[in-house]
Amino acid sequence: MFGGHCLYARGTPFALVLNDTLYFCVDDQTRPRYQAMGSSCFTYETARKRVALARYYQVPGELIEDAEPLLELAREAVAAARRTPARGKRAKPART
């Protein structure tokens, strides 16, 4: 995915690692915490525009080296990912 890595917890994708940056999954319940820390959501450029994925927010660098707060954020990210599954393609109805 975008030349990076996706981290899973029991089949649930909850984090991205892209360009040496860790992003955790957020939802409406956890997003304000990341915004209060000054984090931004994952963005990338296409040929025509900049795309923001508000589902993933950058983990502040100072937390990467601190195991306890990082683990707390990771657990929250797993919970957020489970509360709000990623949008995917809908199954097409069977043809009869």
pLDDT per position as a tens digit, 56-65:
999 999 999 9
pTM: 0.82
The pLDDT tens digits for 14-64 are 999 998 999 999 999 999 999 999 999 999 889 999 999 899 999 999 999
Domain that holds residue 39: 5-83
Q: What is the pLDDT at residue 84?
A: 86
Statement: residue 81 has pLDDT above 90 = yes
Q: For the domain that residue 40 is a member of, what is the CATH number?
A: 3.30.1460.30
Do the domain assignments include residue 19?
Answer: yes
Number of structural domains in the chain: 1
- Residue ranges in the chain assigned as alpha helix (H): 31-36, 61-64, 67-83
Instruction: Say if strands 50-58 and 5-9 run parallel, antiparallel, or are unpaired.
Output: unpaired
Note whether residue 91 is domain-resident: no
